[in-house]
């Protein structure tokens, strides 16, 4: 049993079962034993690889899309260039480098990073030398100003609750005990107001996930963007409406049991983009496949330009990376992009209203 599992067993013995969201939150963010608290999970040696770690083109094109959105909104002379869950800082470093020739952009930009993990903050410090970002544990402490935000594989790491439809309402999944070990359980059925709109497209036995934390963050981001200007690009796997149990535990690039190694495996769920779009009190773009978004931003031209400087294995790897980011059988359609932007502004380039 992991150290965190032992703590959880004690906790459940004294306070009763955990909701799924409590369980996920502790697994990822426990201040002592949480998955993100204790390690850098990214890359070949870690548990999973993300788009910015696959190719520099990803962060470059996102940086340019945000820079164009900034110009379209009148190029305000001070703004926040922010990232939620920046991982190793690779995306932000690529975005900053790619935008250095956009007139006035760097002078106006203040870089802000929302990150809870000290291990990853250290990696970001190293990668972003010369950029001098300001770190935040949450969105509440961001200073005022137009907000140009990127969140890649951030929302999939936020805790979700899971409910099973019953004849008369919903029974929420919980984590309890059996013979001294963690075991999935179900709370007694009851109505759940947050899921009233799902009564129309579900039947008894279906599982629905919802994330109060994700919705609260989308609301806070959307309100700021509407009131102070800016744009957000939210990139993740998921769909317009989620149905079914999508909770996954991944360790060393393979799937493991969700309850087996709390604190030592990454836990993610597919993002319900509809819930984010509806929580945000500003305009949202159409949900767009990552491959389409990157093609519209000119990834093929950028890939060809970079290819001219490469040869041998580096060239092979570059071609494979381009394919991995855009091809429908790889990340191209599984990953989607949602843009948030103010009323009366243009959507960020690469996306449509
Ligand atoms: N965006 C990066 C990393 C994705 S991993 C990339 O694409 O490579 C998820 C990131 O979100 C990590 O940096 C993790 O520490 C951070 N994170 C997860 N939950 C968070 C929370 N509740 N608040 C702030 N950061 C969080």
Q: What is the pLDDT of residue 76?
A: 98
Rounded to an integer, what distance in angstroms lies between the CA atom of residue 84 and that of residue 218? 12
Q: In the structure encoding, which two tokens stand for residue 52, read together?
A: 């910015």
Name the band, by pLDDT with cuts 50, 70 and 90, for residue 49.
Answer: very high
Q: What is the pLDDT of residue 44?
A: 79
Of 210, 173, 167, 207, the closest CA to residue 191 belongs to 167
Q: What is the pLDDT of residue 43?
A: 82
Rounded distance from Cα 151 to ligand 1 centre (Å): 8
Name the band, by pLDDT with cuts 50, 70 and 90, for residue 335.
Answer: very high
Of 260, 294, 250, 287, the closest CA to residue 271 belongs to 287
3-state secondary structure at position 331: coil
Q: What is the pLDDT of residue 349?
A: 98
- Per-residue model confidence as pLDDT tens digits over 159-217: 999 999 999 899 999 999 999 999 999 999 999 999 999 999 999 999 999 999 999 99
Q: Mean pLDDT throughout 299-318?
A: 98
3-state secondary structure at position 164: strand
Of 203, 266, 229, the closest CA to residue 27 belongs to 266
| Ligand 1 atom with minimal separation from the 51 CA | 7
Q: In the structure encoding, which two tokens stand for residue 231, read together?
A: 């744009």
Rounded to an integer, what distance in angstroms lies between the CA atom of residue 199 and that of residue 194? 11
Rounded to an integer, what distance in angstroms lies between the CA atom of residue 96 and that of residue 88? 14
Q: Mean pLDDT throughout 46-52?
A: 92
Ligand 1 binding pocket (C-beta < 6 A) is 28-29, 36, 42, 50, 52-53, 85-87, 91, 114-117, 120, 152-154, 157-158
The percent of residues in the chain predicted with pLDDT above 90, rounded, is 97
Rounded distance from Cα 312 to ligand 1 centre (Å): 34
Q: What is the pLDDT of residue 45?
A: 83
Q: Which residue, chain included where needed, has tokens 């994330």?
A: 211
Q: What is the pLDDT of residue 351?
A: 98
pTM: 0.97
- Per-residue model confidence as pLDDT tens digits over 247-306: 999 998 899 999 999 999 999 999 999 999 999 999 999 999 999 999 999 999 999 999
Measured by CA distance, the residue closest to atom 10 of ligand 1 is 85
Of 173, 151, 123, 169, the closest CA to residue 23 belongs to 173
């Amino acid at each position: 049993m992991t150290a965190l599992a032992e703590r959880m067993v004690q906790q459940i013995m004294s306070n009763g079962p955990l909701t799924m969201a409590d369980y996920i939150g502790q697994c990822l963010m426990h201040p002592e034993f949480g998955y993100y608290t204790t390690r850098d999970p990214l890359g070949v040696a870690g548990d999973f690889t993300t788009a910015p770690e696959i190719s520099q083109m990803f962060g470059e094109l996102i940086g340019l899309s945000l820079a164009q959105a900034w110009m379209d909104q009148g190029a305000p002379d001070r703004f926040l260039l922010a990232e939620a869950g920046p991982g190793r800082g690779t995306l932000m470093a690529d975005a900053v480098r790619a935008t250095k020739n956009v007139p006035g952009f760097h002078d106006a930009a203040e870089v802000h990073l929302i990150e809870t993990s000290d291990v990853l903050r250290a990696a970001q410090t190293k990668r972003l030398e010369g950029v001098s970002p300001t770190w935040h544990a949450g969105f509440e402490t961001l200073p005022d100003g137009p907000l140009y935000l990127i969140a890649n594989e951030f929302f999939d790491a936020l805790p979700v609750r899971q409910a099973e439809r019953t004849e008369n309402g919903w029974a929420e999944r919980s984590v309890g005990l059996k013979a001294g070990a963690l075991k999935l359980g179900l709370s007694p059925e009851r109505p759940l107001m947050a899921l009233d709109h799902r009564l129309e497209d579900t039947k008894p036995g279906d599982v629905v996930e919802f994330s109060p934390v994700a919705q609260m963050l989308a609301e806070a981001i959307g309100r700021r963007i509407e009131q102070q200007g800016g744009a957000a690009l939210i990139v993740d796997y998921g769909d317009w409406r989620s149905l079914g149990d999508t909770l996954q535990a991944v360790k060393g690039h393979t799937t493991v049991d969700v309850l087996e190694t709390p604190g030592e495996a990454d836990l993610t769920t597919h993002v319900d983009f509809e819930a984010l779009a509806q929580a945000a009190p500003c305009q949202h773009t159409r949900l767009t496949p990552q491959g389409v978004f990157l093609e519209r931003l000119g990834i093929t031209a950028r890939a060809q330009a970079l290819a001219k400087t490469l040869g041998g294995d580096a060239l092979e790897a570059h071609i494979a990376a381009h394919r991995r980011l855009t091809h429908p059988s790889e990340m191209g359609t599984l990953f989607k992009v949602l843009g948030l932007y103010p009323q009366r502004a243009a959507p960020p380039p690469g996306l449509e209203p």
